[in-house]
Structure 1
């Protein structure tokens, strides 16, 4: 793929992301999918835009990110929970970029709230706590991407080894209870109250949060060799399984081992991103490169001429049955745009 083609696609995706409109209704609640909201969909999008800014150093993109945070600081931030933490990951990088003291104040306040008051499960794992849905006693694979990456970054910024050690602990506890040892994939959730993995769903996007998140985590932290080797091995086992379950067109089904469920683009983008970045950085064997490239071709086939990424499932809680995952609305979403953006930016580097 030519660099000029990839950059053209990226510009279209960013424009579509910044102008995305709509509302998603989930049972008893609804939420805005535009960039006006503050939540995990927007947080993933901000991180992707910043990653592209690092490549292009386009002042307009940096200004967009700074303006986005300024507007939300002025309006007031939501309570701290797993999902609302996601935008803070990008703010750690913006603080390094700009030195803005207000960024540091907000970051410290948020980090201290997590470490002092965030609810935990048995063995000290972070509960997948949402203000409107406490999920007491539950671990979800989403939490690692939405909250733990931020904590690891704060350990770097504040030069506090305890924060990095906490991030390691969270990865290990989540791996312990979410890994399906039969396949090497991750279950979506674990409930300490009933001691079960809910529907035992090997949900694609949840697995992709781990693939993309772990590769980024390994890039942003310095780990002891034993811990690093352990995390590498979990990634390799997962990618082996992904190769097995990849569809002919390069995408993956929303339940990875259930070909009767629909193909899902955001997870496929994140898998492609994580695999290709891990290969480029020497964390995975080059033998897996074709898995990532095949996925990238599949994702490109799902992007409209105006840069809108199709085939993306809306927000997905832990369900009690696999069939419920297959009933989630499919529509353009900020994280669908942003994971495709990350994938395309990685293709430029690759």
Structure 2
């Protein structure tokens, strides 16, 4: 990136981060004051931004946000609600407050011993809403829950969390990766032994493409990462690279070029390209592909810092067509994925 490009990313990152912190009470998409995956992604991205910017106001906001919302956490003890805990290890290291470490260990034990699993051992994708997705494994889980386990392993030194993180990552790859294209299905029904609608949803691919190098980085020096994980990540990125549109974005269903382009999935995939290249698993062509995406995501940042072109919160839908028809709205996870892409250039 040129100096001008870095400056543009810095300005956009600041506006997007400010929009996350400002929130919008009563609007599910932008309400930061709740304990769930959507604000959790925003908080994870804010702390990723703090690591690069060292802005004290961002750290102070995150500390206050956790204190305000921790009372909700125990009533939302589901896999999708694990996302906010991913910042606990870093908060512990930055503040020295033992609460973060002790509570993270308690949640880690819950995940290892009590969290519902499918018949083949994958975390069942439980959510804070009343809906049940029995025997379903979703790509979302890798970012929402497995990333936390990897970070907990690093801060605690407990190898059992690292082992479970790698086990879950391999399981989700094995269940969700399409042998023909290398890209991922959104979910897998372990009772029916099929990918349900069979949609290769963009944001599902983003969750795994981005979380995998983050998990690997957290586990460096703690536990060796199986070669199969690197091989599957490379296959995933190779498959995604083949579906990138000329404008740098991906369709809402990645192998459907006739479908609309979607910003959050595209930003997450591009950030995953950058992070995986840093591991040395893929070459510079993936950085160039991410640069194309960056230009389009920068254009999607509105004056108030909102990121446009983001699909609403999406369960595994009945058909590919339903993904293309789903609502488009600003969301905290859309803000977060865009911010994580910008952070890669700071």
**Common fold: TM-score over 0.5:** yes
Q: Distance in 2 between matches of 1:153 and 1:76?
A: 19
Tell me what 2:132 maps to.
134
Contact persistence 2:264–2:310 (CA under 8 A): yes
Give the RMSD, CA atoms, in angstroms: 1.7
- Aligned in 2, Cα 1:130/1:178: closer, same or farther, shift over 3 Å? same
Shift of 1:22: 6.5
Q: 1:20 aligns with which of 12, 18, 23?
A: 23
Where does the alignment leave 5 or more consecutive residues of structure 2 unmatched? none
- Cα 1:37–1:342 shift into 2, 3 Å: same
Separation in structure 2 between the aligned mates of residue 91 and residue 134 of structure 1, nearest angstrom = 28
Aligned to 2:173: 175
Tell me whether 56-65 or 101-110 shows the greater mean CA deviation.
Answer: 101-110
Distance 1:221 1:133 in 2: 33
| C-alpha distance after superposition, 1:213-267 (max 9, x if no partner) | 001111111376560x322221221121222111121110010011222110001
Match of residue 194, structure 1, among 181, 187, 192:
192
In the other structure, the counterpart of 2:10 is 7
CA distance in 2, matches of 1:328, 1:201: 13
How does 1:1-350 map onto structure 2 within 5 Å? Answer: 1=2, 2=4, 3-21=6-24, 31=28, 33-74=30-71, 77-131=74-128, 132-222=130-220, 227=226, 229-348=227-346
- DSSP-derived class of the 1:122 partner: coil
What displacement does 1:134 show? 3.0
Q: CA deviation at 1:338?
A: 1.1
Structure 2 CA distance for partners of 1:203 and 1:165, relative to 1, 3 Å: same
TM-score, scaled relative to structure 2: 0.94
Deviations 1:131-169 (A, max 9, x none): 522311111111111011111222222222112111111
Q: How far did residue 73 of structure 1 move?
A: 2.5
**Could you say which residue in structure 2 is the equivalent of 1:28?**
none
Q: 1:101 to 1:21 in 2, by over 3 A?
A: same
Deviation at 1:32, TM superposition (A): 5.4
Give me the whole-angstrom Cα distance separating, in 1, the residues matched to 2:188 and 2:179. 14
Give a deviation string over 1:2-31, Cα, whole Å, max 9, x none.
33322111111111222232766xxxxxx4
Alignment TM-score, normalising by the size of structure 1: 0.92
The more displaced of 187-196 and 281-290 is 281-290
**CA distances 1:25-57 after superposition (whole Å, capped 9, x unpaired):** xxxxxx453111211111111111111111122
- Counterpart CA distance in 2 for 1:80 and 1:101 is 21
Q: How many residues align?
A: 341
CA distance in 2, matches of 1:123, 1:281: 30
Q: Aligned equivalents of 1:142 and 1:226: distance in 2?
A: 21
Q: Which runs of 5+ in 1 are unaligned?
A: 25-30
